[in-house]
Structure 1
Amino acid sequence: MWEQLAQYRNHFLQHEIKDVLKPTSINSQQNKEWALDMEKRNICKCVPYCCTSTSTHLEDRAQLAYGWFALPKLLKELDSDVRLTHWKAVVSLTEFLLNPLNAQRAITEMDIVRKLKNAFMRMRLKLHKEEHREGEMYLKIYNILSRNFDGAENIANRKCLRIEFYKIIHNQENIKDDLASEILRNLTGKPKVLGIILEDPENFSALAGIFKQDPCRPHYPQHLWHHLCHLLEVAPEQGIELGFFELLHSRILNRLSNFWDMATKAFALLLCCVEGQRRFDAVDGVKLLYDVFAQADENPRKLLPRQKVENWEYTVLALLNGLHSKRALWRSREFTQLPCYVGRLMESTVDNPRLQLYCLKVFRELGVMPCIKRYIIGNWLEDICKLFCLDAEAECARDSLVDWLRRDIADSS
């Protein structure tokens, strides 16, 4: 009877190896393998005693339903003298304002920028002790509010906040410097707010002090670079007066970490004014950029990991902005391989239409010199005609360049 009952388990195994083992032997072997697998699984599921702490997600949130009456309740708890109640209100407010409608209502109806400014300044001036991470959460709220136009304008009009943001970045406070940099980038990303920032020269001076603090510093927050480029795009003369030309030139010359990225973009924006072009010619900028292009032919083992150029867009942009003077054009005649480097980048790019557009414009600028124009017609005209453009703007630049080159052939014949 027991032998017959054992046949009802493991039907597939019983059918396949019924002539080799008895049903009871098959079942005992299966039980043994199952026990070994469960032992391994239980070992993996063991949790060390140090990791058994419970989650604080609900403990750090205010007790409320996120509806129409949530914002007044959170702002009321924000004024509480009980530090835990205040902390819960700040954390919940950070999540509540992620909804743009809630953020707009808080800015226009509740004047949340002013209320948070008072609490934030008390924390920064050491009038209140930071028991949790209130300072970081205040910055997160300001980061959310700065994405709104009204919020960005209210933040930019308060000088004390701008000063504290630059101090945080200057002191390189962990986590907070990234948040402060993103807030400043959000502010200057809006044209009207950018005008408010530029009205006060202390903002640009504070930013210059951050970059001059350590000229050899390898990395800065990415948002801080974008903030700098927003300012240089509108006021390159002011940036040159503050010493950014020498700073960025030294970073490119010494091939600091990721020099080809945002540092080269900021350097290219400085060349859009007369003084920037004059200084570019004085330091032989064409030779400087030619050496960067020539890196592709060098032994990669001689370069450090972050010295290899991974994106040529801003390097070509710097060359384009630096070819507006006669001295730079005459200097470019001495580098025969320069059009070849630009042409190879133009043909090899498959996902960057701006790089393609800049290469076509560089050909147009270099073609002002007759000898380079003849070189382009003889070696690159056919490739330019067959070029597949990635967007409409690059296609218009290609057609204009081809028409200009062919017109020269007709005139000379």
Structure 2
Amino acid sequence: MWEELEKYRNHFLQHEIKDVMKPSSINCQQNKEWDKFMKKRDWCKRYPQRCAGSSTYFEDRAQLAYGWFALPKLMKEIDSDVNVTHWRAIVSLSEFLLNPLNAQRAILEMDLVRKVKNAFMRMRLNFHEQHYEEVETYLKIFNILSRNLNGAEHIANRKCLMIEFYKIIMDKEPRKEDLTAEILRNLTGKPKVLGIVLADAENLESVANIFKLDPCQPLYPPHLWHHLCHMLEVAPEQAIELGLFEFLHSRIKNRLAYFWDMNCKAFALLLRCAEGQRLFDEVDGIKLIYDVFEDVYIKKSKKLHFQHVENYEYIVLALLNGLHSKRALWRSREFTMLTCHVGRRMASKTNPRLQLYCLKALRALGVMPCTKRYIIGNWLDEVRELDCLDAEAECARDALLDWLRRDIADSSS
């Protein structure tokens, strides 16, 4: 009877090895293995279970209902002499302003930029002691306000704020550098505010000093590069006077980290003026760009970190902007493979701007008759069959094809 009952355990094992072992022996063996496994499990070190700490979310925020009367209440609590009340008010305000309507109302009706500026400057000048993370929170508020046109104008018109922003980046203050660079990018990203920033020559000089402080610094905040490029689009001559041409040229020549990205874009923007073109010819810029293209034949393992070019967009843009002088065009005749490098990058499947720059660069290189003949003989079919990614690149392709075909018709007659 007991043997019959043993058959009801471990049905799979009982079925598979019923002719080898008795049901009781099978169950006994299974019990031994289970005990051995549980002993190994018990040997594992158990970490003491701790209760999760209580959240400080509500401790750091003001008690209010986010409605029409929330903003006046927050503005009143910002002026409080109680540190906790002031801290909760600015933290809640940084979230409340994420709504563009609230930000617009706070800027125009409550004069928020002036109030936050005064509190920020008192902390920076050590008139008030910092008990929490007030400075970082003020920068978050400035970052939100800089996305609004009116807020950006108010910030750019206060010179003391601009001086402090550049000082933070110059000193590389942790947790503040990237946030400050983003504020500056938001300011100069608006054409009207860009004019206000460039009206004070010290702003561009401060940016140049930040970059020239350590020419061998591998990386800078990405937003700072965009801030610089916004200014170079309007004032390349002033930047050249401050020595930025030599700085950017040396970084490309020495192949510093990510030299092919924003560094090349800033360098290309400097070539849009007469002085930049003259300096480009003096340093043999065509040879410099050709050497960058030729680096593709060097094994990636033999390059330093971040030296491998991942995107040729701004390199081709620098070539395009550098082909405005006769000296550069004559120099380009000596590098036959330069046209091939541009033609190969033209077939990009993901970057429409790279396509556009390559098509324009082929048109500029083709001003020289020998280069034009080379393009007709070797790249005409590739240009004709190119799948353009946007309408602007398609127009550039059609214009280039029309220009090349017109030369064929003229030569055949």
Q: Check whether TM > 0.5.
A: yes
1:131 offset after TM fit, Å? 1.3
Q: State how far apart, in whole Å, the 1-side matches of 2:36 and 2:238 are.
A: 76
Residue 232 of structure 1 pairs with residue 232 of structure 2? yes
Q: State how far apart, in whole Å, the 1-side matches of 2:129 and 2:109 are.
A: 29
Q: Indicate how the Cα distance of structure 1 residues 365 and 36 shifts in structure 2: closer, same or farther if over 3 A, else same.
A: farther
Q: Indicate how the Cα distance of structure 1 residues 36 and 189 shifts in structure 2: closer, same or farther if over 3 A, else same.
A: farther
Q: State how far apart, in whole Å, the 2-side matches of 1:244 and 1:399 are.
A: 37
Contact 1:6-1:27 at 8 Å conserved across structures: no
Question: What is the RMSD of the two structures over their aligned residues, measured on CA atoms?
Answer: 2.6
Q: Indicate how the Cα distance of structure 1 residues 173 and 278 shifts in structure 2: closer, same or farther if over 3 A, else same.
A: same
Residue 364 of structure 1 pairs with residue 363 of structure 2? yes
Opposite residue 84 of structure 1, the aligned amino acid is: V
SS at match of 1:307: coil
1:260 offset after TM fit, Å? 0.6
Equivalent in the alignment of 1:168: 168
1:17 offset after TM fit, Å? 3.8
Q: Indicate how the Cα distance of structure 1 residues 125 and 35 shifts in structure 2: closer, same or farther if over 3 A, else same.
A: same
Equivalent in the alignment of 2:302: 302
SS at match of 1:305: coil
Equivalent in the alignment of 2:398: 399
For residues 211-254 of structure 1, the C-alpha deviation after alignment (integer angstroms, 9 at most, x for no partner) is 11111111110000000000000111111111111110111111
Equivalent in the alignment of 2:313: 313
Equivalent in the alignment of 2:141: 141
1:58 offset after TM fit, Å? 2.1
Q: State how far apart, in whole Å, the 2-side matches of 1:316 and 1:185 are.
A: 24
Q: State how far apart, in whole Å, the 1-side matches of 2:103 and 2:3 are.
A: 74
Equivalent in the alignment of 2:407: 408
1:100 offset after TM fit, Å? 1.5
Q: State how far apart, in whole Å, the 2-side matches of 1:388 and 1:40 are.
A: 65
1:196 offset after TM fit, Å? 0.6
Residue 76 of structure 1 pairs with residue 76 of structure 2? yes
Opposite residue 294 of structure 1, the aligned amino acid is: E
- Stretches of structure 2 lacking an aligned partner (at least 5 in a row): none
Opposite residue 220 of structure 1, the aligned amino acid is: Y
Q: State how far apart, in whole Å, the 2-side matches of 1:108 and 1:7 are.
A: 85
Equivalent in the alignment of 1:122: 122
1:65 offset after TM fit, Å? 2.0
Q: Please, what TM-score do these two structures have when normalized by structure 2? A: 0.91
Q: State how far apart, in whole Å, the 1-side matches of 2:158 and 2:202 are.
A: 13
Contact 1:3-1:24 at 8 Å conserved across structures: no
Moved more, 266-275 or 148-157: 148-157
Opposite residue 316 of structure 2, the aligned amino acid is: V
Alignment of 1:195-206 (within 5 A): 195-206=195-206
1:90 offset after TM fit, Å? 1.4
Q: Indicate how the Cα distance of structure 1 residues 35 and 253 shifts in structure 2: closer, same or farther if over 3 A, else same.
A: same
Q: State how far apart, in whole Å, the 1-side matches of 2:143 and 2:243 are.
A: 29
For residues 332-391 of structure 1, the C-alpha deviation after alignment (integer angstroms, 9 at most, x for no partner) is 0011110011111112x1100000110010100000000000011111111111111111
Q: Indicate how the Cα distance of structure 1 residues 230 and 2 shifts in structure 2: closer, same or farther if over 3 A, else same.
A: farther
SS at match of 2:224: helix
Contact 2:113-2:155 at 8 Å conserved across structures: yes
Q: State how far apart, in whole Å, the 2-side matches of 1:182 and 1:412 are.
A: 55
Moved more, 402-411 or 22-31: 22-31
1:143 offset after TM fit, Å? 0.3
Opposite residue 356 of structure 1, the aligned amino acid is: Q
Opposite residue 55 of structure 1, the aligned amino acid is: S
Q: State how far apart, in whole Å, the 2-side matches of 1:114 and 1:271 are.
A: 39
1:38 offset after TM fit, Å? 8.2
Q: Indicate how the Cα distance of structure 1 residues 398 and 59 shifts in structure 2: closer, same or farther if over 3 A, else same.
A: same
Contact 2:280-2:322 at 8 Å conserved across structures: yes
Q: How many positions carry a matched residue from both structures?
A: 406
1:149 offset after TM fit, Å? 1.1
Q: Indicate how the Cα distance of structure 1 residues 294 and 83 shifts in structure 2: closer, same or farther if over 3 A, else same.
A: same
Opposite residue 395 of structure 2, the aligned amino acid is: C
Q: State how far apart, in whole Å, the 1-side matches of 2:239 and 2:357 are.
A: 24
Residue 353 of structure 1 pairs with residue 322 of structure 2? no
Q: Indicate how the Cα distance of structure 1 residues 3 and 21 shifts in structure 2: closer, same or farther if over 3 A, else same.
A: closer
Contact 1:14-1:26 at 8 Å conserved across structures: no
Q: State how far apart, in whole Å, the 2-side matches of 1:154 and 1:26 are.
A: 82
Contact 1:289-1:319 at 8 Å conserved across structures: yes
Q: Indicate how the Cα distance of structure 1 residues 147 and 39 shifts in structure 2: closer, same or farther if over 3 A, else same.
A: farther
Moved more, 122-131 or 53-62: 53-62
Identity, % of aligned positions:
66
Q: Indicate how the Cα distance of structure 1 residues 151 and 53 shifts in structure 2: closer, same or farther if over 3 A, else same.
A: same
For residues 256-312 of structure 1, the C-alpha deviation after alignment (integer angstroms, 9 at most, x for no partner) is 111111010000000001111011001100001000000011233321121111110
Opposite residue 313 of structure 2, the aligned amino acid is: E
Q: State how far apart, in whole Å, the 1-side matches of 2:308 and 2:124 are.
A: 41
Q: State how far apart, in whole Å, the 1-side matches of 2:145 and 2:119 are.
A: 16
For residues 131-177 of structure 1, the C-alpha deviation after alignment (integer angstroms, 9 at most, x for no partner) is 11100110011001111111111111111111110110111100111
Opposite residue 232 of structure 1, the aligned amino acid is: L
Equivalent in the alignment of 1:327: 327
Equivalent in the alignment of 2:382: 383
Opposite residue 77 of structure 1, the aligned amino acid is: E
Q: State how far apart, in whole Å, the 2-side matches of 1:312 and 1:353 are.
A: 12
